Amino acid sequence: MRFLSNAFNRTGLTMTKAQNATLWDENGQRFTDLTGGIGTAIVGHANPHVAKAIQRQCTQMVNASNVHIQDTQLKLAETLTELSGTSCCFLTNSGTESMETAIKLSRKKSKHLVACHKGFHGRTLGALSLTHSTYRQGFEPLLPHVTHVPFNDADALQDAVTKDTAAFVVEPIQGEGGIHLPDSDYLKHAAEICEKNDALLVLDEVQTAYRTGNWFAFQHFGIAPDVVATAKPLANGLPLGAVLYREDLDFSPGAHGSTFGGNAVSCAAALAVIDVMKNQHLHARTKATHKNLTQKLESIGLKPRGMGLMLGADHPHAKKIQQNAQARGVLVSVCHNETLRLLPPLTIEGKTLDDAVQILGECQP
Ligand SMILES: Cc1ncc(COP(=O)(O)O)c(C=O)c1O
């Protein structure tokens, strides 16, 4: 391919238009997007309420810079801290930048970090040090003093976390690793182990936020993490991330920064997303859609797992199903060649979803 980097495993499609859960390519062919723009189009592609907020903000102020407070970012920080039960917010441009920020916040006490096997936290060098997969190959050595333990294994965590540990970093539901849910008490045990050792519990909610029938996935597990990093769904496709934490962990002036993080347009979009989520009762709708989608996936012979509209199902021919489905106008992502991953917009219409699942069923070799 010319001009654009080869870094991505691309579909070969060139997209030109999007609306809710539908994408159109340059030839006018329509696709149902069960990937939801890889988890970003939370209230649907080109959501009209969000588009209006973006348009309005573009003619008002785009980015006055972070040497000032920008009004939409202050409002967003207040809202996100309230929704997450934290008290301080650092705004970023992406998931990996949120994780870099979380790492820097954590490394005050010591440098030892604990993360999980199959965890995914991004691809910049700090975040990649926590990521546990083949994505590391060719880029090591990464950050020293990182221990990886099996996910959902409280005993292994107990052994790895010591008084010298700065933080345990974990996705409440592993996404890229293949949609793995922990046992209901794992995160509670993790919080206790961290507290006992004066280590921070850092949750990577880059993919899980807004998607599980709650604002944050940790809210299903009865815990209060020290740090929550998020990004994907916040601004419905515009670049925006947020790190939410206790005020006493905050940076001193000059210790961290970001030129575009928290720009006024992304923040206006994020506030509009929260409005849509509230006005359209999307947490309740997510739970109902989850039930329907799970049943439909079971009816085509799959065994789905996940929460809300973050679902995965293993299949020995996952890659082939993905290819066949694309040819039939349905887009789905695949983790590690073995798990179909569905992250559709919370606003996807019932019939669109049912039709797409039927096609997935017909695409099994
Ligand atoms: C859990 C998790 N953390 C971090 C990231 C990195 O986010 P980004 O691609 O926005 O840098 C991702 C991306 O998929 C993710 O799923």
pLDDT above 70 coverage of the chain, percent: 100
What is the rounded CA–CA span in Å between residue 242 and residue 248? 17
pLDDT above 90 coverage of the chain, percent: 98
Nearest CA-CA partner of 83 in 212, 203, 216:
216
Q: Find out whether the beta carbon of 33 lies less than 6 Å from any atom of ligand 1.
A: no
The pTM of the full predicted model, rounded to 2 decimals, is 0.98
Whole-number average pLDDT of the chain: 97
299 Cα: distance to centroid of ligand 1 (angstroms) = 31
Q: Find out whether the beta carbon of 95 lies less than 6 Å from any atom of ligand 1.
A: yes
Residue 133 clears pLDDT 90, i.e. is over it: no
324 Cα: distance to centroid of ligand 1 (angstroms) = 27
- The minimum-distance atom of ligand 1 relative to the CA of 174 is 1
27 Cα: distance to centroid of ligand 1 (angstroms) = 30
What is the rounded CA–CA span in Å between residue 133 and residue 31? 30
Classify the C-alpha dihedral 8-13-17-18 as positive or negative. negative
Strands (E), the chain: 15-19, 22-25, 30-33, 88-92, 112-116, 146-149, 165-170, 200-204, 227-230, 241-245, 305-307, 310-314, 330-331, 333-335, 339-342
Listing DSSP states for 247-258 in one string gives GGGPPPTTSS--
Dump pLDDT digits (tens) for 169-195. Answer: 999 999 999 999 999 999 999 999 999
- The minimum-distance atom of ligand 1 relative to the CA of 119 is 1
Average pLDDT (86-115) is 97
Dump pLDDT digits (tens) for 254-299. Answer: 999 999 999 999 999 999 999 999 999 999 999 999 999 999 999 9
Dump pLDDT digits (tens) for 237-254. Answer: 999 999 999 999 999 999
- The minimum-distance atom of ligand 1 relative to the CA of 229 is 3
For residue 16, give both structure tokens. 């030109």
Top-tier CATH class for 49-279: alpha beta
Residue 141 clears pLDDT 90, i.e. is over it: yes
What is the rounded CA–CA span in Å between residue 187 and residue 41? 28
What is the rounded CA–CA span in Å between residue 83 and residue 44? 21
* Polymer length in residues for the chain: 365
Q: Find out whether the beta carbon of 205 lies less than 6 Å from any atom of ligand 1.
A: no
**DSSP 3-state percent helix, strand, coil across the chain (nearest 5):** 35, 20, 45
Domains 15-33+282-362 and 49-279 share a fold: no
Q: Find out whether the beta carbon of 100 lies less than 6 Å from any atom of ligand 1.
A: no
Q: Tell me the chain's radius of gyration from C-alpha atoms.
A: 20
Cis peptide before 141 (omega within 30 of 0): yes
Structural element, H or E, at residue 157: helix 154-160
Q: Find out whether the beta carbon of 204 lies less than 6 Å from any atom of ligand 1.
A: yes
CA atoms within 13 A on the CB side of 312: 17
- The minimum-distance atom of ligand 1 relative to the CA of 94 is 10
Dump pLDDT digits (tens) for 28-85. Answer: 999 999 999 999 999 999 999 999 999 999 999 999 999 999 999 999 999 999 999 9
Amino acid type, 226: D
Domain positions in the chain are: 15-33+282-362, 49-279
Strands of 227-230's sheet, edge to edge? 88-92, 241-245, 227-230, 200-204, 165-170, 112-116, 146-149
97 Cα: distance to centroid of ligand 1 (angstroms) = 9
How many other C-beta atoms are found inside a 10 Å radius of the C-beta of residue 307? 20
Q: Find out whether the beta carbon of 45 lies less than 6 Å from any atom of ligand 1.
A: no
Q: Find out whether the beta carbon of 226 lies less than 6 Å from any atom of ligand 1.
A: no
Q: Find out whether the beta carbon of 173 lies less than 6 Å from any atom of ligand 1.
A: no
Q: Find out whether the beta carbon of 341 lies less than 6 Å from any atom of ligand 1.
A: no
Of 3.30.2310.20, 3.40.50.1000, 3.40.50.300, 3.90.1150.10, which CATH number belongs to 15-33+282-362?
Answer: 3.90.1150.10
Cβ atoms 123, 131 nearer than 8 A: yes
**Predicted local confidence at residue 1, as pLDDT:** 63
- The minimum-distance atom of ligand 1 relative to the CA of 208 is 1
What is the rounded CA–CA span in Å between residue 163 and residue 165? 6
